[in-house]
Homo-oligomer: A and B are copies of this chain.
Amino acid sequence: MLRLILAAAVVALAPAAQAADARQMEENKKAVLEFYDLAINQKNFEAAAKFLGPRYVQHNPNAADGPEGLKAFLGFLREKFPDYHSEIKRAFADGDYVILHVHNVPTPNARGNAIVDIFKLENGKVIEHWDVRQEIPEKAANANTMF
């Protein structure tokens, strides 16, 4: 019986909590979209860094850990790949995470890469990053594109 009462209480409380969660997730998504554009497309570390939390745990195997790793990567892009940009095809949010599915074009007219970026946020700030990148092949076994 106690279990039933507790279950009913959880159900009653859930919608308000879910509404708050949904608001936070939308805010997280908005923050990541702005962060991503400032970092990857504008290559402006100083502006992007305002969206970083007290740490930035990096899982991309080619980037050094922390905000300094991001700064070095953006400096590298600015110098070697000034036209490097990513078009966001889909953006998702679930709990503390925001996930982007993007078409990355490192140099003009390149077929480019499909990338999924995963960001973890804490108090609305980005604190951790994972990604997976795959070159878009010239030919495909279906006509649907990678996006």
Contact = CB atoms under 8 A, between A and B. Distances in A.
Contacts of A22: 14, 18
A145 B131 CA distance: 11
B133 A134 contact: yes
A146 B130 contact: yes
A27 interface: no
Interface stretch (A1-9, A30-38, A39-47, A62-70): A62-70
A interface, how many residues as a size bin?
A: 35 or more
A144 B97 contact: no
Contacts of A114: 130, 132
A140 interface: yes
A49 interface: no
Interface string A107-147: 00000001110100000000000101110110111111111
Interface of A: 14-16, 18-19, 22, 57-65, 69, 90, 92-95, 97, 99, 101, 114-116, 118, 130, 132-134, 136-137, 139-147
